[in-house]
Amino acid sequence: MAIRLAPLFSVERLRPRYWAAWMSLLSLRLLAMLPYGALLPLGRLIGLALYYASPGRREIARINLRLCFPDKPDAERERLLRENFASLGMAVCETAMAFFWSDRRLAPLAHIDGLEHLQTALARGKGVVLLTCHMTHLEVSGHLLALHQTISLMYRLHKNPLMDQAIRDSRAARAHDTVERSDVRAMIRELKRGHAVWYAPDQNYGGTTQVVFVPFFGCPR
């Protein structure tokens, strides 16, 4: 099913509240023009910049690493912290690739192991839930998987309508359907139709009684 959304540009979206989103999309478009060999090293540099520019996030990650790996030396946890920010920076470049690279350009960069298990499950005529973590490579992984298997995607509404539509446009161009994460009925409909639904449910669902927080690395919420 082709999903058609309203045009990304409108006069309304020239207002200041959208300027940061437009700049982000322009930056991603410029990054996508670079060769692959330059993108990942550049991504690590972006991650290094984020490491120094985000002291609050850096401290949260440092505390989490200390809670999860209390036996590791401080130097090792600091290395993991820097690698985490490097991954975040590379995710920026990978998102640019997912949004703006053609299938032909992206396809040779990855091979999917175990795809036959998904296809075997779908061949039984029932839907399949692809339950994964919400990792930094989510966007590019979704693009790559959609090259080989039709999927539907669960998504979370972005606070900025422009960025929300840009993300949905990118995903809808390759997915069978996109389903807002709170629309459980739509998800069930997709499964009943025999589709694969990708769900990465690791965001905070607090504020409602319909959630259960489980220990992470032995640490409670």
State how far the Cα of 83 lies from the Cα of 153, in Å rounded to an integer: 28
Residue 181 covered by a domain: yes
**Does residue 94 form part of some domain?**
no
What residues make up the domain containing 190? 104-221
pTM here is 0.84
Q: What is the mean pLDDT of residues 8-26?
A: 90
Give the CB-side neighbour count of residue 126, counting CA atoms within 13 A.
5
Q: How many domains does the chain have?
A: 1
Do residues 162 and 9 lie in contact, with contact meaning Cβ atoms separated by under 8 Å? no
**pLDDT per position as a tens digit, 43-60:** 999 999 999 999 999 999
pLDDT band with cut points at 50, 70 and 90 for residue 17: very high
Write the pLDDT tens digit of every residue in 107-145: 999 888 999 999 999 999 889 999 888 788 888 988 999
Domain assignment of residue 128, yes or no: yes
- Cα–Cα distance for residue pair 77/118, rounded to 1 Å: 36
Q: Where are the alpha helices (DSSP H) in the chain?
A: 19-32, 36-53, 55-68, 74-100, 103-106, 115-122, 138-146, 161-172, 184-192
Provide the pLDDT for residue 9: 80
Query: Is it the case that residue 5 has pLDDT exceeding 60?
Result: no
Are the C-beta atoms of residues 82 and 89 closer than 8 Å to each other? no
Listed residue (87, 85, 86, 66) closest to 76, CA to CA? 66
Using pLDDT thresholds of 50, 70 and 90, give the confidence band for residue 30. very high
Average pLDDT over residues 6-13: 80
Residue 5 inside a domain? The answer is no
Burial of residue 203, with CB atoms counted within 10 A of its CB: 0-12 exposed, 13-18 middle, 19 or more buried? exposed
